[in-house]
Amino acid sequence: MSVKKLIVYQKAFDVSMEIFHMFQSFPIDEKFGLTSQIRRSSRSVCSNIAEAYRKRIYPAHFTAKISDADMENTETQTWLDFSLACNYIDESKFKHLYSYTIEIGKLLNHMLSYPEKYLIKKQIKNLTN
């Protein structure tokens, strides 16, 4: 199975692309500030999920990368808070994107709570011996 089939990856990718397109219209003075930061953090969610997926044979590496994805997701939420407070996005767009990040966070926390559901099966067998 490909990482792209994971619902959490799909949702994170969708949010990242929405953010990319939406933030193209932000003020030029935010280009290297808020715009750059939110794009980077939202993309990092996906990249950390992909890295974790490739590290499924190593439980500690897997959980570390999923934890990194969760951290980046939380950072994205913070940048959304700033975007709303600065009136760069309206309340409805904020709620839409923020609800996506909440869903992503729940899915990531499930992965952290039950890593055995995502690890490569032969690794789980080796852990129980």
The predicted-structure confidence for 85-118, as pLDDT tens digits, reads as follows 999 899 999 999 999 999 999 999 999 999 999 9
End-to-end CA distance of the chain: 26
Q: Is the pLDDT of residue 23 over 60?
A: yes
pLDDT number for residue 91: 97
Distance CA 10, CA 44 (A): 13
pLDDT, tens digit (0-9, with 9 covering 90-100), for 69-88: 999 999 999 999 999 999 98
Residue 80, CA atoms < 13 Å, CB-side half-sphere: 27
Paired tokens of 84 = 């709303």
- pLDDT over 70, % of the chain: 91
Q: Where are the alpha helices (DSSP H) in 5-33?
A: 7-22
Asked whether 41 and 72 are in contact (CB, 8 A), the reply is: yes
Homologous superfamily assigned to 7-128: 23S rRNA-intervening sequence (1.20.1440.60)
Q: Kindly report which listed range (10-14, 16-20, 23-27, 58-62) carries the lowest average pLDDT score.
A: 23-27
pLDDT number for residue 122: 65
Asked whether 106 and 82 are in contact (CB, 8 A), the reply is: no
Q: Where are the alpha helices (DSSP H) in 23-120?
A: 34-54, 59-85, 91-113
pLDDT band at 24 (very low <50, low <70, confident <90, very high): confident
Angle at 22 between CA 20 and CA 25, to 5 degrees: 110
